[in-house]
Structure 1
Amino acid sequence: MAIATLKDVYIDQLQDLYSACSQSKSMTEKLAGAATNADLKDALKAGANGIVSGMGVATDLVRSHDADPTDEFCKGMEGLVKEAQAHALDAQFEENDARDAMIITQYQRMTHYAIAGWGCLVAFASRLGLDEEAKRLQECLDETYEGDLRMTQIAKGAVNQAAAA
């Protein structure tokens, strides 16, 4: 698709974020399987469910503009997923607490990428006068941000302390 207008940018970035979500969902599920802290494991499972919800929103919005959500592949998230695989899953850890700290780090990097994507989409939809779409996207942004804050609380509350011991 040739990009000529802000609406073209908007659709392209909806597709890109759909791809990013798809990739991060699979990795988030793997991270949940590797986590040992119960709160972390629960938060990652909730995060995967939230990602699925966001993918549904992206799909609906892309299709409402007569486009296919799978027409883009997000190279940015591909790199973050590779980093998570290498640093949180493939690396050798002597202590599970240290792995849990690394899992949070890698998950939050993927989450921050998604926060940037949702935020841009909210701004684009608002500028285009797509108020209902902007509202739905804002809900995705808010949920993603809440998941990130939950991870920070888990890290500060138990995981980092245990990993430091």
Structure 2
Amino acid sequence: MSLNSLKDVYVDQLQDLHSACRQSHAVMDSLKEAAKNEELRSALGAGKDGIADGLTHLEALIKSHGADPKGEHCKGMEGLVAEAKAHGLNQDFGNDDARDAMIITQYQRMAHYAIAGYGCCAAFANRLGLTEDAATLGEMLDASWSGDRHFSGIAQGQVNKAAAE
């Protein structure tokens, strides 16, 4: 498909973000199961729920523009999910706290991809005068930032200290 306008770019990026969220959502249970810190396990569960909410909103936005939510495959998130599996799940760890630190690292890399996507799409929606889309995307961006800060707090308050000992 040829992208000929900002609207085309916007819909394409919504589809890419939908694909990214589907892929990250699929690995969340495995990350949660591998984590040992209870607060981290809880945060991963909440993160999965947040991703599911984002998928619902993205699907509605994409369909409202007459496009297929599954019209794109996000290679960027494919790589980040592969990294999460390789480094957070399949890597040998002699220390559960070190694994938890790695799980946080991999989760935040995936979250930062989503944050960039939500921010760009919200900016596009604003420029296109799609105020309801922009508001929805802004809420999803805020939720993603909030989750990211929560994971940073878990890392800085508990996990990194325990992994360093």
Q: Normalising TM by the smaller chain, what interval?
A: over 0.9
Does residue 86 (structure 1) correspond to residue 90 (structure 2)? The answer is no
| Number of the residue aligned with 1:121 | 121
Residues in 1 aligned to 2:124 and 2:15: alpha-carbon distance in whole angstroms: 14
Superposition map of 1:60-139 within 5 A:
60-139=60-139
* 1:101-123 residue CA offsets vs partner (Å, 9 max, x unmatched): 00000000000000000000000
1:70 to partner: Cα distance: 0.1
Residues in 1 aligned to 2:88 and 2:50: alpha-carbon distance in whole angstroms: 21
1:33 to partner: Cα distance: 1.0
* 1:111-143 residue CA offsets vs partner (Å, 9 max, x unmatched): 000000000000000000000110000000000
| Number of the residue aligned with 1:38 | 38
Residues in 1 aligned to 2:29 and 2:52: alpha-carbon distance in whole angstroms: 11
Would you identify which runs of 4 or more consecutive aligned residues in structure 1 move more than 3 Å? none
| Number of the residue aligned with 2:18 | 18
User: In structure 1, the residue corresponding to 2:129 is in which secondary structure?
Assistant: coil
Q: TM-score, normalising length from structure 2? A: 0.99
Residues in 2 aligned to 1:29 and 1:77: alpha-carbon distance in whole angstroms: 17
User: In structure 1, the residue corresponding to 2:4 is in which secondary structure?
Assistant: coil
Q: Which amino acid is the alignment partner of residue 22 of structure 1? A: R
1:30 to partner: Cα distance: 1.2
Residues in 1 aligned to 2:145 and 2:151: alpha-carbon distance in whole angstroms: 10
Percent pairwise identity? 58
Q: Which amino acid is the alignment partner of residue 140 of structure 2? A: C
| Number of the residue aligned with 2:161 | 161
Query: What residue ranges of structure 2 are gaps of 5+ in the alignment?
Result: none
Residues in 1 aligned to 2:66 and 2:29: alpha-carbon distance in whole angstroms: 31
User: In structure 2, the residue corresponding to 1:69 is in which secondary structure?
Assistant: coil
User: In structure 2, the residue corresponding to 1:57 is in which secondary structure?
Assistant: helix
1:28 to partner: Cα distance: 1.8
1:53 to partner: Cα distance: 0.3
Residues in 2 aligned to 1:84 and 1:61: alpha-carbon distance in whole angstroms: 28
Q: Which amino acid is the alignment partner of residue 25 of structure 1? A: H
1:150 to partner: Cα distance: 0.2
* 1:52-111 residue CA offsets vs partner (Å, 9 max, x unmatched): 000111100000001000010000000000000000100000010000000000000000
Residues in 1 aligned to 2:141 and 2:28: alpha-carbon distance in whole angstroms: 17
Query: What residue ranges of structure 1 are gaps of 5+ in the alignment?
Result: none
